[in-house]
Amino acid sequence: MYHTLAVLVENSPGVLARVAGLFSRRGYNIDSLAVGRTDNPTISRMTIVVEGDERVLEQVSKQLHKLVDVIKIGDITAAPHVDRELVLIKVNANANTRGEVMQIAQVFRAAIVDYGHKNLTLECTGNQEKISAFEEALQPFGIKELVRTGKVAMLRGAKYTNITKTKEED
Amino acid sequence: MKMSGAEILIDSLKEMGADTIFGYPGGQALPIYDALYDSDINHLLTRHEQGAVHAADGYARASGKVGVCLATSGPGATNLVTGIANAYMDSVPLVAITGQVPTSLLGRDSFQEVDITGITLPITKHNYIVKDIRDLGRIVKEAFYVASTGRPGPVLIDIPKDISAGEMDYHRNGFLDLPGYNPPRKGKEELLNQAFKAIAISQRPVIYAGGGVVSAAAHQELKQLAETLLAPVATTLMGLGGFPEDHPLALGMLGMHGTKYANYAICDCDLLIAVGVRFDDRVTGKVESFAPHAKIIHIDIDPAEMGKNVRVDIPIAGDLKIVLNQLLERLEARLAGAWQDKVATWKKEYPLEFNEKGSGLKPQQIIQEIYRLTEGQARVTTEVGQHQMWAAQYYTYTKPRSFISSGGLGTMGYGFPAALGVQVACPEETVFDIAGDGSIQMNIQELATAVDYQLPVNVAIMNNGYLGMVRQWQEILYNRRYSYSEMKSPDYVKLAEAYGAEGYQITRQDEVAEVLQAAIQSQKPVLMDFVIEREENVLPFVPPGKALNEMLG
């Protein structure tokens, strides 16, 4: 089963290596990892999607807690949450096919971010199923290049993950 | 006050109470060494950086203080790696300081540059590279705090030369910036209640105690717990000395080379109280058959140890001393019953024993003799192998921090430099390194350090001309095919003399006590070459992957 972890870390050099190293060293599988700094410039937030059963997840989260740079971990899989991923796709599009590609973009509410003679670059945001469906729809035209950000996620409603609660109180 | 980075480092070390450093200088550490020249910190120059880190480790284990070692960049730093991993596996509080190339040369494969923070990432509790002199004082303090609190461990600080040589206006302040570091302290009430219930209904309780008892200085509480519940106590290698082995409830060591009665008690108990342990494979044997009838209460400072190797029914994360006191407040004394009788019968029926006949000296007998002549008061370090297990089995440890050995990593060459650190920490005490002929040759160069600083450690080499434990496994598991396990030694007597130490070779039973006595009296380091029975085995032996009650011997 896939779990989505929201992890607050100190925005210090080497923190990504520490987290990534921990996963490889202990044999946990990362499906995706997205990281960027938060509204507090000293703190970064990682969204990590990891595969494993309850036992593995418990170990992952306990081992992450042991890293001094990790401030807080929340497993938000079971709670209502919004998750999004962004994809950029460069796809073949000549005079004959361009119209059709643009129609597909419209269906998926994707934006055209670059317009070339032989290709279009499209930007699409959504959950993982939508992104995959979008990719599939463009496949027949010939995808030249594709880049996905990995999932970012946030709890819905009044609940939030921030650093005011210490790790011990989780 | 205007101070250099190196001066800030030394000032911060002193602020943290560090008065002893084991180290080895080199190019990028020169500013630090220059500042040491004027300081009153006691610096001991070893002959290899690995000697320095093991000595700092031994110093830490004997004293309970944070050990400090210092090396230069590149090869100096990589020579610390084994010792850092060793301290990490055994949860030893250590601060390792390394010189580094100037920040302007970082990442350019400069002379003697190595990414030591990258290399030590998986074997340190935390590590730092100082890129701004204004962070240096805080980092040193954080390093000591992280190394010594919670589950102790090694912390490395990498200091580029322009930082140690740079200057700033510095004033001490106590600021630490560790928002993500909150080790647990008290046990959760709800889990304690579950523990009380489990204890109340148990008929056959056993305590399984490890190195955490020693680290947390919870040996008194452990003894009280055992006496209250009349629960026999099995200790791990790391836990030896955490419970007095001459106590009627002591079962000695459990696991691969544990006593039969300790392993039988684990297999038969209905409640296992695991304190300050991590369910290592050398302890559990086949995991599925470990304590098969028992409810398991696990008390440890590190929540990540709970359920890592073995399923645990009641995991209580917290400071051992605090949690044990929380338990003791509410526990009532028990009366002896059938369980205590059964354990006593096992102890009588299956004592630790060895065949006293044979052509050569018996290592077990030599260790018993060391125990007798030191009246059980020595600090014993070991290397790794057969002699280590005999030292664990045949010396009776009654005090915490009296048995100092490389448990988790199993580092050959640990015991001798560690003994030097122990002797520095405990200058008035008798220190023995019980060694093998293989292990002692791994850090033999530290004899020069021992002589240089007049550290009168006693090295008792159990010399069988083999890598004995390798040979034993080859005998039992590889059909006696002794592939590269036979090994020749130098003339240890001449070697000791060449270094300025004392050397003895002992081949006869009637010389053992006499030489040991002379060594204990001597003010010099002494190397004793005991020529022992060549194919003596460590028994009992639970072959890897077998259950604890499937032992040989």
The closest CB to that of B121, out of A18, A63, A72, belongs to A18
Catalytic residue among B1, B111, B220, B308: B111
Mean predicted confidence (pLDDT) in B221-235: 98
Q: How confident is the model at residue A77 (pLDDT cuts 50, 70, 90)?
A: very high
Which pLDDT does position A160 carry in this prediction? 78
Is B111 known to be catalytic? yes
B49 noted as active-site residue: yes
Report pTM.
0.95
The pLDDT value recorded for residue A168 is: 45
As a whole number of angstroms, the distance between CA A146 and CA A121 comes to 9
For residue B125, the chain A residues in CB contact (below 8 A) are 68
Cβ atoms within 10 A of the Cβ of B159, count? Answer: 29
CA separation for the pair B496, B527 (Å, rounded)? 6
Task: Please indicate whether, in this complex, the C-beta atoms of B180 and A55 are within 8 angstroms of each other.
Answer: no
CA distance to A8, B57, B462, per residue, from B528 (Å): 56, 24, 9
Looking at residues A130-136, what average pLDDT do you find?
Answer: 96
Q: Which of B14, B112, B168, B227 is catalytic?
A: B112
Q: Are B181 and A17 within 8 A, CB to CB?
A: no
pLDDT of residue B109: 96
Helix (H, G, I), strand (E, B) or coil at B78: helix
Mean pLDDT to the nearest integer, B496-510: 97
Sorted by where each starts, the structural domains of chain B and their CATH numbers stand as: 2-169 (3.40.50.970), 189-350 (3.40.50.1220), 363-531 (3.40.50.970)
| pLDDT at res. A164 | 63
Annotated active-site residue in B3, B16, B28, B49: B49
What is chain B's percent helix, strand, coil content, to nearest 5?
Answer: 40, 20, 40
- pLDDT tens readout for residues B427-481: 999 999 999 999 999 999 999 999 999 999 999 999 999 999 999 999 999 999 9
Between residues 63 and 92 of chain A, which touch chain B (CB distance below 8 Å)? 63, 65-72
Helix axes B133-148, B5-15, angle to 10 degrees: 30
State the amino acid at position A142 in one-letter form. G
* pLDDT tier for residue B314 given thresholds of 50, 70 and 90: very high
Minimum CA–CA partner of A8 in chain B: B180
The rounded mean pLDDT for chain B is: 97
Residue B134 — φ and ψ, nearest 5°? -70, -20
Tens digit of each residue's pLDDT (9 = 90 or more) over B4-59? 999 999 999 999 999 999 999 999 999 999 999 999 999 999 999 999 999 999 99
Interface test with A, best of B132, B145, B308, B312 (most A CBs within 10 A): B308
DSSP 8-state code for residue B8 = H
Tell me if A166 and B182 make a contact (CB, 8 A cut-off). Answer: yes
| Closest Cα in chain B to A59 | B304
Mutation choice for A interface testing from B119, B139, B182, B186 by most A CBs within 10 A: B182
Is the pLDDT at A169 greater than 70? The verdict is no
Please, what are the domains in chain A? 2-79 (3.30.70.260), 82-152 (3.30.70.1150)
How confident is the model at residue B84, as a pLDDT? 98
Query: If you count them, how many residues does chain A have?
Result: 170
The answer on pLDDT for B173 being more than 70 is: yes
% of chain B with per-residue pLDDT over 70:
100
pLDDT at position B357, please?
A: 86
- Chain B residue with CA closest to A7: the answer is B180
Query: What integer best gives the mean pLDDT of chain A?
Result: 92
Q: Is the pLDDT of residue B317 over 60?
A: yes
Which residue in the block uniquely carries the two structure tokens 């870390």?
A9
Nearest to B256 by CA among B432, B479, B477: B477
